[in-house]
Structure 1
Amino acid sequence: MAGHSKWANIKHKKAAQDAKRGKIFNKLAKEIEVAAKLGGSDENANPRLRTAILKARQANMPKDNIERAIKKGAGELEGVNYEEFVYEGYGPGGTAIIIEVMTDKKSRTLPEIKSIFTKSGNSLAESGAVSYLFDHVGLILVEGENIDEEKLLDIVLESGAEDFELDDEVGNKKIYAIKTAKENFHSVLTALEPKLQEMGLKIVESGLKYVPQTTIALPKEQALKAIKLIEDLENHDDVQNVYTNLEIGEWAEEIGA
């Protein structure tokens, strides 16, 4: 999982920012609506919905909001017809960027995404231009204290996951990143959940992610410009996730809260 250092640290910073801006619940609701529309409202029979609900609970999204989003997706309440798109682009210093979008109007969203790139002196790219630099995988981040790593390895392998590594550490608290094949993500998550709970571990992030095969380190000025571009993209209402091969670790503390 090259280039995956401090994933949790950075994602948590971004989640905190989104929450302050009042955006995160809207984005989570979109994901729940789309999942319910595509696979039905029964989370036990709809792995994508189950994952979306888990993410919403991790973000402390109110139960009423979750249930309302499910009903909208299932057609029980009036909702919006969202479509999903993946865009690719180049950032400062040739960094690669992947943007996952959910929108009710592509003709509005695409020009706005293009504008964010062009205003920063960067550009969108054709499909496939940078995605080959990433692995599209399932990723599960778990957090706990005084973890028995041998036992964790056993349950990770038993669940069908590919591997895991230490992602972040503060005092006795550690965060591990568990990687799965994209097609096995939901079954692995289902198998892991009860076993992780038995170990006293908490799932803090999960989903299908684009993980860079390698990362690019940039000088400070370029790196901060790239981070600003990523923040601007993430602040767009229709953008669900942004991924990059920029090595952010060194500048993580300078990401504005």
Structure 2
Amino acid sequence: MAGHSKWANIKHRKGAQDAKRGKIFTKLIKEITVASRMGGSDINANPRLRAGVTAARAQNMPKDTIDKAIKRGAGELDGVDYVETRFEGYGPAGAAIIVDTLTDNNNRTVADVRHIFNKYGGNMGTSGCVAFMFDHKGQIVFDAEGIDEDELMEAALEAGAEDIVNADGSFEVITAPEDLSDVQEALAEAGYDKPVSAEATMRPQNTTEITEEKPAATMLKLMEMLEDNDDVQHVYANFDIPDEIMEKLE
């Protein structure tokens, strides 16, 4: 399916099942801090900060924690100075991967990310080698259980969304990045107030299918190890794995 990667749903299920809320909060706090430092602490005038706060609220982050991160970024509280770096490369079967990081030690992060790529069947490429294969979008994900697709579609489009995708037991509401917060707020008012996630993301224009079990397992391990690195904020990929292989791996 163009614009959809299997990893998006695997990640959402994994996040809902395991006990990694502390790590999720850490990544969100870093994003809010950097967004506030770069664009100012006014949420209404800083689209990136607004998107970060929207993502944090979707994960039920306490308001006090969000406010402290904003103040830290604005210089009102002491904090660490993070550097943004994007890495691009390829995984098994030539799947395209983007890794966005925030780090206080870029040399460490470069070495760590390169090591993970090399260990799990991938290789890092040059800047821009795969980014053109993705579109920057806002994405609000809902568990499909108990939700009527047509009703959600109507509410989402009325709220200003671009599209809604039915994918593996979830609905993905797609927006322009700058419309993410407004669409989420409108959907919440319409009764859709419990998204699995709401975030700015990079959606693949097309997917690369991995049809053999071994490279598929290696691809998932590569993604998991990248996601688990403390300096990594987001990992995007364009691979797809057929359901019959996923069932064997799960």
* TM-score of the aligned structures, taking structure 2 as reference length: 0.84
Could you report, residue by residue, the CA deviation over 1:98-126 in whole angstroms, capped at 9, with x for unpaired residues? 10111122222112211111223431001
1:26 CA drift (Å): 1.1
Q: Quickly say closer, same or farther: Cα 1:249–1:64, change in 2 above 3 A.
A: farther
Residue 28 (structure 1) aligns with: 28
Residue 73 (structure 1) aligns with: 73
1:64 CA drift (Å): 3.4
CA distance in 2, matches of 1:254, 1:81: 44
Residue 246 (structure 1) aligns with: 239
1:162 CA drift (Å): 2.0
1:197 lines up with 2:192 in the alignment: no
* TM-score of the aligned structures, taking structure 1 as reference length: 0.82
1:79 CA drift (Å): 0.8
Letter in 2 for 1:204: V
Q: Quickly say closer, same or farther: Cα 1:44–1:143, change in 2 above 3 A.
A: farther
CA distance in 1, matches of 2:41, 2:16: 28
Identity of aligned residues (%): 49
1:233 lines up with 2:235 in the alignment: no
Task: Name the stretch that deviates more: 237-246 or 196-205.
Answer: 196-205
8 A contact 2:88–2:131 mirrored in 1: yes
Could you report, residue by residue, the CA deviation over 1:60-110 in whole angstroms, capped at 9, with x for unpaired residues? 334433222122111111111112221111111211111011112222211
* CA root-mean-square deviation: 2.8
Q: Quickly say closer, same or farther: Cα 1:43–1:249, change in 2 above 3 A.
A: farther
Could you report, residue by residue, the CA deviation over 1:46-71 in whole angstroms, capped at 9, with x for unpaired residues? 33223222322322334433222122
> Aligned pairs, how many?
248
1:188 CA drift (Å): 4.9
8 A contact 2:87–2:100 mirrored in 1: yes
1:8 CA drift (Å): 5.5
Letter in 2 for 1:160: G
1:146 CA drift (Å): 4.9
Residue 138 (structure 2) aligns with: 138
1:180 lines up with 2:175 in the alignment: yes
Q: Quickly say closer, same or farther: Cα 1:29–1:18, change in 2 above 3 A.
A: farther
Residue 220 (structure 1) aligns with: 213
